[in-house]
């Protein structure tokens, strides 16, 4: 077991997390990764830029991501975003994009 692995294990990171976040651990260290795991982020609105921000936060290992957006999916969003299709027009933005709920739950 390497020094990084041993230190990370004592700090609460599992072996899987060490492997998953290896580059991040090398870049900013174990303590920063642990702070990210404990972080709670509120993202208000989830348009094209918000989609990228949410994706990057999740991939970085953020602890909790809450998205707040009361809008519904429009035709313009279908043309510019990869999370939605024509079937999603009129559904709630957050429920549809983040959780893929069926139409009857998103309405």
Cβ-based neighbours of 48, under 8 Å, separated by 6 or more = 77, 80, 81
Cβ-based neighbours of 42, under 8 Å, separated by 6 or more = 66, 67, 68
**Is the pTM value of this prediction over 0.75?**
no
- Rounded distance, CA 63 to CA 2, Å? 26
pLDDT in tens, 56-100: 999 999 999 988 888 888 898 888 877 778 888 888 877 655 555
State whether 50 and 83 are in the same domain. Answer: yes
Whether 105 shows a pLDDT value over 50: the answer reads no
More confidently predicted of 18 and 12: 18
- What is the CATH classification number for the domain harbouring 72? 3.50.50.80
Whether 10 shows a pLDDT value over 90: the answer reads no
State whether 14 and 58 are in the same domain. Answer: no
- Rounded distance, CA 29 to CA 1, Å? 17
């Amino acid at each position: 077991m390497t020094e990084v692995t041993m230190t990370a294990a004592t700090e609460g990171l599992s072996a899987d997390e060490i492997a998953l976040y290896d580059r991040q651990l090398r870049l900013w260290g174990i303590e920063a990764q642990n702070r990210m795991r404990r972080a709670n982020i509120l993202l208000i609105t989830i348009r094209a830029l918000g989609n990228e921000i949410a994706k990057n936060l999740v991939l970085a290992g953020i602890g909790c991501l809450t998205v707040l957006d009361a809008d519904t999916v429009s035709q313009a969003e279908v043309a510019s975003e990869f999370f939605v299709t024509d079937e999603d027009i009129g559904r709630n933005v957050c429920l549809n994009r983040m959780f893929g709920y069926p139409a009857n739950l998103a309405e």
